[in-house]
């Protein structure tokens, strides 16, 4: 009987809401713990999150019941509006050294790029489904990238590299979903990987050999093979020159992620404190409100970027495992809904939104563990952030809306 009940719950879209509620609960517990002895500006994070929770749930309900036809019809207009919104912060003053937020004079700020994330996904979904796009040739892959690149370029200049990465991330999975040639997608991604692997001679050499093997066995003209291969070699070799054009703080962030001890009081400080907090909690944690790194404020940006470290220190590694299980269950259910969606437009939206959540989870957790450079990307439903919480609940509403099997 219990097994049958579990099967019904697992197969129901309501499992998504259950996962979201559990993740939200973990986040609220941690935010409350952080607020115990924090200064006034930080202690408000818990109460602000509660304040945003009501509107977030209302937005989720709204996006759940909103007509699919209405969304499909007006998404291009909304895409244009989103371009205007992500440009508005440039006309205000810098906040934390960037132009990411709009200050209306209220106790909270608004980050329009959070809206742009799911707007890009729905815009791409309409473009790819309306045209019944045949993405069998390389050129046909470029238009979807252009749709995502326009707002991404604006956000990149704010600057906000993390959000820009998330904006571009859904394009390849969505193209693959509609039948794009994997080799063509590989050609688009390969130049970026060639640049990244240029950090290490051995890794770059292995990558170039891998490209050579792929290109050699793929059936295309010899001239195309030569151009593809040597273009990637050129990009990898020229990267040291591009590296010298980066600003010192950008270099420090990348280097400190590889070896934080190089700058323990500067760019590497966040990563060192994060690792210390994660390692000191053990399996069961020190107890809510008992974390030394958290309560003594050694851990920076603990209510958002490094909240996983708070979970590890105070609630323990077992809770982190449970959290990752909830995320995995959430993502798997989303993909399942995409497979059973009633039409291509719906399935593409679900795949795109799933990729956004996956990107946030991967980047935030990897950053916390010191595996990648520090990026200001919050953890869905757990980290503090009003704009992101509102956007996340809206995306969950879209998942429930477009995940219905009946038109």
Which of the two residues, 343 and 244, has the higher pLDDT score? 343
**Would you say 27 and 382 are in contact if contact means Cβ atoms under 8 Å apart?**
yes
| Residue keyed to tokens 């270099």 | 251
Q: Nearest Cα to 33, choosing from 386, 279, 314, 309?
A: 314
Torsions phi, psi for 231 (to 5 deg): -65, -45
Whole-prediction pTM value?
A: 0.82
Residue 307: how many CB atoms within 10 A of its CB?
Answer: 26
Structure tokens at 97: 């050294």
Give the per-residue pLDDT at 240. Answer: 67
Q: Count of H helices and E strands in the chain?
A: 18, 0
Compute the mean pLDDT over every residue in the chain, rounded to the nearest whole number.
Answer: 79
pLDDT at 248 over 60: yes
Query: Does the pLDDT of residue 228 top 90, yes or no?
Result: no
What pLDDT score was predicted for residue 250? 66
**C-alpha to C-alpha distance for 179 and 347, rounded to whole angstroms:** 13
pLDDT of residue 141: 72
* pLDDT given at position 22: 92
- Dihedral sign computed on CA atoms, order 256, 259, 260, 262: negative
Q: Alpha carbon 16 to chain centroid distance?
A: 18
* pLDDT confidence band for 33 (50 / 70 / 90): confident
Band the pLDDT of 42: cuts 50, 70, 90.
very low
Burial of 81 (0-12, 13-18, 19+ CB in 10 A): middle
Cα angle 104-297-387, degrees, rounded to a multiple of 5: 25
Q: How sure is the predictor about 257, in pLDDT bands with cuts at 50, 70 and 90?
A: very low
The residue among 216 and 92 whose pLDDT is bigger is 216
**Going by C-beta distance under 8 Å and a sequence separation of 6 or more, which residues neighbour residue 298?**
273, 276, 277, 292
φ/ψ of 342, rounded to 5, equals: -75, -20
Q: Please give the angle made by the CA atoms of 403, 351 and 99, to the nearest 5 degrees.
A: 115
The pLDDT of residue 37: 61
Q: Is a pLDDT exceeding 70 seen at residue 199?
A: no
Distance CA 316, CA 321 (A): 9
Q: How confident is the model at residue 406 (pLDDT cuts 50, 70, 90)?
A: low
Choose the weakest-confidence range: 48-57, 219-228, 357-366: 219-228
For position 49, what pLDDT does the model report? 84
Q: Name the DSSP letter for residue 89.
A: G
Least confident range of 47-61, 229-243, 282-296:
282-296
Q: What are the phi and psi torsion angles at 282 (to 5°)?
A: 65, -160
Over residues 31-54, the mean pLDDT reads 73
Are the C-beta atoms of 292 and 273 separated by less than 8 Å? no
pLDDT surpasses 60 at 259: no
d(CA 171, CA 352): 8
Sole residue written with tokens 């273009």: 231
pLDDT at 262 over 50: no
Distances (CA, A) of 131 to 138, 140, 144, 241, 343: 16, 11, 12, 42, 14
pLDDT above 80 for 19: yes
DSSP state of 311: I
- In order of 132, 235, 285, 323, 347, the CA distances from 11 in angstroms are 30, 47, 33, 20, 17
CA distances from 192 to 185, 249, 374 (A): 12, 21, 19
The sign of the dihedral angle between the CA atoms of 237, 240, 242, 243 is: positive
Report, as an integer, the average pLDDT of 340-357: 92
SS3 246: coil
Q: Dihedral angle at the C-alpha atoms of 201, 207, 208, 212, nearest 10 degrees?
A: 160
322 sits in which H/E element: helix 317-339
Least confident of 205-209, 229-233, 241-245, 343-347: 241-245
134 or 393, which is more confident?
Answer: 393
- Confidence at residue 131, expressed as pLDDT on a 0 to 100 scale: 67
As beta bridge partners, residue 207 has none
Under a CB-based contact definition with an 8 Å cutoff, are residues 253 and 267 in contact?
A: yes
- Residue 324 is predicted with a pLDDT of 92
Calculate what percentage of the chain has a pLDDT beyond 70. 75
Q: Once rounded to an integer, what is the mean pLDDT over residues 373-400?
A: 87
CA 143 to mean position of chain CA atoms: 22
Q: Which residue has the higher pLDDT, 319 or 257?
A: 319
What pLDDT is stored for residue 239 in this prediction? Answer: 74
The residues with which 110 forms a beta bridge, in sequence order, are: 102
């Amino acid at each position: 009987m219990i097994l049958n009940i579990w099967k019904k719950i697992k197969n129901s879209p309501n499992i998504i809401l259950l996962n979201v509620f559990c993740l939200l609960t973990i986040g609220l517990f941690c935010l409350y713990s952080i607020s115990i002895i924090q200064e006034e500006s930080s202690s408000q994070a818990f109460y602000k999150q509660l304040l945003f929770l009501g509107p977030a749930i209302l937005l989720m309900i709204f996006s759940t019941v909103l007509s699919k036809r209405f969304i499909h019809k007006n998404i291009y207009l909304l895409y244009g509006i989103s371009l205007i919104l992500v440009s508005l912060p440039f006309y205000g003053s810098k906040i934390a050294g960037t132009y990411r937020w709009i200050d209306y004079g209220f106790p909270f700020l608004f980050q329009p790029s959070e809206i742009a994330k799911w707007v890009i996904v729905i815009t791409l979904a309409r473009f790819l489904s309306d045209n019944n796009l045949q993405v069998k040739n390389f050129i046909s892959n470029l238009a979807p990238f252009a749709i995502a690149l326009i707002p991404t370029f604006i956000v990149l200049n704010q600057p906000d590299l993390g959000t820009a990465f998330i904006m571009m991330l859904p394009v390849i999975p969505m193209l693959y979903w509609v039948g794009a040639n994997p080799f063509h997608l590989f050609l688009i991604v390969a130049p970026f990987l060639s640049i990244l692997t240029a950090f290490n001679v051995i890794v770059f050499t292995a990558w170039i050999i891998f490209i050579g093997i792929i290109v050699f066995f793929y059936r295309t003209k010899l001239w195309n093979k030569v151009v593809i291969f040597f273009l990637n070699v050129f990009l990898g070799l020229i990267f040291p020159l591009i590296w010298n054009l980066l600003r010192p703080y950008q270099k420090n962030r990348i280097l400190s992620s590889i070896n934080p001890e190089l700058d323990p009081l500067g760019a590497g400080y966040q990563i060192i404190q994060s690792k210390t907090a994660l390692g000191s909690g053990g399996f069961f944690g020190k107890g809510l409100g008992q974390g030394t790194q958290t309560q003594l404020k050694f851990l920076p940006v603990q209510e958002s970027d490094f909240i996983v470290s708070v979970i590890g220190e105070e609630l323990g590694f077992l809770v982190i495992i449970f959290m990752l299980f909830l995320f995995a269950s959430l993502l798997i259910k989303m993909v399942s809904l995409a497979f059973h969606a009633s039409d291509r437009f719906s399935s593409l939206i679900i795949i795109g939104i799933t990729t956004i959540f996956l990107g946030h989870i991967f980047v935030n957790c990897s950053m916390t563990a010191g595996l990648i450079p520090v990026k200001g990307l919050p953890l869905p439903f757990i980290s503090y952030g009003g704009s992101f919480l509102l956007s996340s609940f809206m995306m969950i509403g879209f998942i429930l809306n477009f995940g219905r099997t009946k038109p």
